[in-house]
Amino acid sequence: MNNNPSLEKTSDHFTIAEMISGKIPFICTTQITDFQYIIENLPLQSTLSKRYLFSQKYMREPQKIENELNNIDFVLRWKQNNVQKAEKINFLLSQFRDIEKTFQNLHNNLILNDIDFFEIKNFAFLTQEIHILCQDIPFFKIANLDKIVILLDPQNTHSQGFYIYDDYSSELAILRKQMRENSQNDTDLITQCIEIEDNIRIKLSQNLQPFAEKLLQNSAQIAYLDILFAKAHQINDLQLCRPQTAVEKTVYQKIFNPLIKNILQSKSKEYQPIDIELENAPILLTGINMGGKTVLLRTLALCQTLYQFGFFVPSRSACIVPKDGLRLSMEDNVNATSGLSSFALEIKRLSSILDEINEGKSLLVLLDEPARSTNPEEGRAIVMAVLKILAEKHVNSCVTTHYDCINIAAKQLRVKGLKDTHNSHSINDLLNNIDYSLTETKEINAPHEALSIAKLLNINKELLSIAEEILSIEK
């Protein structure tokens, strides 16, 4: 078995399904939770769309991302201008079944049965209907299935049902007529009918076979339309914005985490969105405990992920630099079964990220309290060293810490923190009393408010008083 973290240097070319499977070593569970919240809340109408959505890949080429965002933008505006049509389309989309297997069978020259024919017939009807409604959506390209309809609706009644119609064979029609007139079951007649019916099924399958490719393409187009419709709906629902592709700086105005916003809302609390800019240099983020540093890193990771999968992002405005990959290091992706300590795992992960940077990969690096689990002196040294390397290599990055870091080449941001410590008497007061916004600082000391917060959390009195005593002696 190889536990070497250098294995983690897989190129970022995974699908949404792989992303949320938890099997990609450098993706931590919090990252998945935040992303999954968005994916699972997409109001997809058809059962066939989820599979297509899950097979979408992480994109690195700005052009591809822009193209996807343009399509979403188009559908968003189109829906606003065509409210009634959009409602009809939503209904039609909900009628589509995932019958790709049937199409594959057709493609592979298998003989289909009546249930398959019924489903293909209805698929063809539905695509015809939806095609008429979507003619002015330029990227929605549906292959014409009129010939399928002619094959499966020989009576031209537009009835949704299907059976081997008398119209397929005059011989069959005669036999069936005889059977209707004969009340007694004539086994001979029945056998003859079955044979003719089977031959018709074979012929129908052969005649439909050349359309298999088109059916598969249409299926993909329908799924894509459903995904765009769902994304457009979600954008209004969660108040997402279209990110602009940037070259140098990633800039967010009022970035927020939809999952946490939702949790806070359910407790009638408000989420305070944050403004932040990431340049090609590290940012050192400090601030009190509970000041939202970790949430900010999570949200930055979420936005970058959403952007690169072609989604709008939770922010009032956003300019994002596309990256080869994103590395978020957090306590939660410690693998308890590896036999290594949390420190060892973390430091190996850090090292592998630096290796990737040396290989020339352009990464967004988000490190939550690196080296937190060792002694402050050496921990501080490690943080400063990491920052130095990130600065030298011009890496888009954000590092949080509680260590006092001096003489570093990073821009320092601090969570403004407690508005007024004396006004807080409980944890609820405390939450209402934190200003989560960021301010640039030159202070070398990280905020020392751990004990005041601990007090408000109503922790063991003895512990508090002894800790305070120790601090006063040391001073």
Residues of this chain that interact with another protein (CB under 8 A) are: 47, 97, 113-115, 117-119, 160-164, 176, 179-180, 185, 190, 193
Task: Assess contact for 84 and 255: CB atoms under 8 A.
Answer: no
Asked if residue 364 lies in contact with residue 247, where contact means CB atoms within 8 angstroms, the answer is no
Q: Residue 155's CB: how many other CB atoms inside 10 A?
A: 9
Q: Which residues contact 423 (CB under 8 A, 6 or more apart)?
A: 429, 433
Other beta carbons within 10 angstroms of residue 283's beta carbon come to 22
Kindly state the smallest distance separating residue 164's Cβ from another protein, in Å: 7
Q: Which is nearer to another protein, 170 or 460 (CB)?
A: 170
DSSP state of 22: T
Q: How far is the CB of 119 from another protein (least distance, A)?
A: 6
Sheet (strand 363-368) strand order: 325-329, 363-368, 396-400, 282-286, 411-418, 434-440
In the complex, the smallest distance separating the C-beta of residue 129 from another protein, rounded to whole angstroms, is 18
In this structure, what DSSP letter does residue 186 have? -
| Least distance from another protein to the Cβ atom of residue 115, Å | 6
Q: How far is the CB of 273 from another protein (least distance, A)?
A: 38
- Residue 403: closest CA among 437, 436, 369: 369
DSSP state of 315: S
**Comparison of 164 and 228: residue with beta carbon closer to another protein:** 164
The identity of residue 439, as a single letter, is T
Q: Closer to another protein at the Cβ: 11 or 160?
A: 160
Among residues 179 and 385, whose Cβ is nearest to another protein? 179
Q: Which is nearer to another protein, 180 or 475 (CB)?
A: 180
With beta carbons less than 8 A apart as the criterion, state whether 115 and 227 touch.
no
Q: CB 114 → another protein: shortest distance, Å?
A: 6
Can you tell me the distance from the alpha carbon of 232 to that of 237, in angstroms, rounded to the nearest whole number?
9
Minimal distance, residue 448 CB to another protein, in Å: 46
Asked if residues 249 and 308 have their Cβ atoms less than 8 Å apart, the reply is: no
Q: Are 326 and 305 in contact (CB under 8 A)?
A: yes
Decide whether 184 or 407 has the Cβ nearer to another protein.
184
Q: Residue 328, by phi and psi: left (phi above 0), alpha (psi -120 to 50) or beta? A: beta
Nearest to 134 by CA among 94, 48, 204, 74: 74
Number of neighbours of residue 80 by Cβ within 10 angstroms = 11
Q: Considering the complex, state which of residue 47 and residue 342 has its C-beta at the smaller distance from another protein.
A: 47
Nearer to another protein (CB atom), residue 104 or residue 160: 160
Residue 70, classed as helix, strand or coil, is helix
What are the φ and ψ backbone dihedral angles of 378, each rounded to 5 degrees? -70, -35
Which CB, 177 or 419, lies closer to another protein?
A: 177
Nearest distance, CB of residue 47 and another protein, angstroms? 7
What are the tokens at 129?
């209907």
Cβ-based nearer residue to another protein, 167 or 213: 167
Q: How far is the CB of 370 from another protein (least distance, A)?
A: 44
Structure-token pair, residue 327: 């590395």
**Smallest separation (angstroms) from another protein to the CB of 157:** 11
